[in-house]
Structure 1
Amino acid sequence: MLSQEKIERINELSRRSKTKGLSDEEAEEQQNLRQEYLQKFRSSFKSQMEGVRVVDPEGQDVTPAKLKRVKGENNRGH
């Protein structure tokens, strides 16, 4: 995830945008920070999903085929 400093800066810019408004530079900084946050969030979420295995009550692996394919593709790359 992002550093605590960057998260605090995102929040600060958000508060300021609601009260005083942002300069062009601040608006650009806010957009860049948001994009970085989303990129890291998506990457983290994807990693978590790739570690998921679905098992039914009988103990059978019922992980969706698409997720199995993604896992296989990523394991070949490592």
Structure 2
Amino acid sequence: MEQAKIDRINVLARKSRAEGLTEEEKKEQDLLRKEFIANVRGNLVAQLNNIDMVNPDGSIENLGEKYGKKTKRS
């Protein structure tokens, strides 16, 4: 997400606490928040899909390949 959008989220949050938002600003805030949350979730899933675990027998298992939507490594 671009820094300008994050800054806009913060501006709207401060304005909401200080004086309230118009209906148009509330809609904008809601859309920006949803985009931000989707971005955070996507980044988290990508990180979790890249976790490797060492099993007790010494083999390495990628959790993204086992549980996620990641394609198998070559």
Which structure 1 residue ranges, 5 or more long, are not aligned?
none
Q: Percent identity?
A: 33
**Aligned-pair RMSD on alpha carbons?**
2.4
Deviations 1:2-49 (A, max 9, x none): 100000000000000000000000000000000000011101110010
Report the number of matched residues: 72
CA distance in 2, matches of 1:51, 1:74: 9
- 2:70 corresponds to: 74
Length-normalised TM-score, structure 1? 0.76
Q: Higher relative CO (CA 8 A, sep ≥ 6), structure 1 or 2?
A: 1
- Higher mean C-alpha displacement, 17-26 vs 55-64: 55-64
Length-normalised TM-score, structure 2? 0.80
> Does the CA contact (< 8 Å) of 2:54 and 2:61 recur in 1?
yes
CA distance in 2, matches of 1:67, 1:15: 42
Are 1:22 and 2:18 an aligned pair? no
Specify which structure has the higher proportion of helix. Answer: 1
CA distance in 2, matches of 1:27, 1:67: 40
TM alignment of 1:2-41, pairs within 5 A: 2-41=1-40
> Does the CA contact (< 8 Å) of 2:50 and 2:62 recur in 1?
no
Are 1:51 and 2:55 an aligned pair? no
TM-aligned CA deviation for residue 54 of structure 1: 1.7
